[in-house]
Amino acid sequence: MARICLDASLVLARLLPLERTTAIIDLWNGLAERGDQLLGPPLLFIEVTSVLRERWARGQITGDEAEIAFLAFKDLPIERAWPDELHTRAWEIAKPLGQRKAYDAHYLALAEIERCELWSMDKRLYNAAGGRIPWLKLVGEA
């Protein structure tokens, strides 16, 4: 059993019908079978909720699909983690990565603080880290 920080890209790939591939289902089934402890910063819960609403508003998913995805999201066993130093560490991580916004840095900071991997499907984030963030693991394709 491992502790794994997840970002919104990976959670949304699990929830959204058009993004839920066999590989994503297998990945999530593996997490469940091993009983890994999943965690995310408060931002994860805000981002996922917002993206689901946005996809519905743009007509990319139906109202029923949005409701089903949101209910499934609420049932995912993801712990909300908010260590005191999260924002400070995110600020520091964002600097060398040249991030104009510190959203992604919050995920990186949480994984660093919790001494676990961050699993993401965000190639842009992975490429920006340029191998400097050893706890960032790119999974699947986004």
Mean predicted confidence (pLDDT) in 36-59: 98
Q: How far apart are CA 28 and CA 105, in angstroms?
A: 24
3-class state of residue 5 by DSSP: strand
Instruction: Give 142's pLDDT tier (boundaries 50, 70, 90).
Output: very low
Secondary structure letter of residue 58 according to DSSP: T
List the chain domain ranges.
3-138
Sheet architecture: strand order including 117-120: 78-80, 37-40, 3-6, 117-120, 136-138
pLDDT digits 0-9 by tens, 77-103: 999 999 999 999 999 999 999 999 999
SS3 4: strand
Region 3-138: CATH code: 3.40.50.1010
What tens digit of pLDDT does each residue of 96-109 get? Answer: 999 999 999 999 99
* Token pair in block for residue 64: 């029923």
Of how many residues is the chain composed?
142
Predicted TM-score (pTM) of the model is 0.95
Write the CB contacts of 57 (distance below 8 Å, at least 6 apart in sequence). none
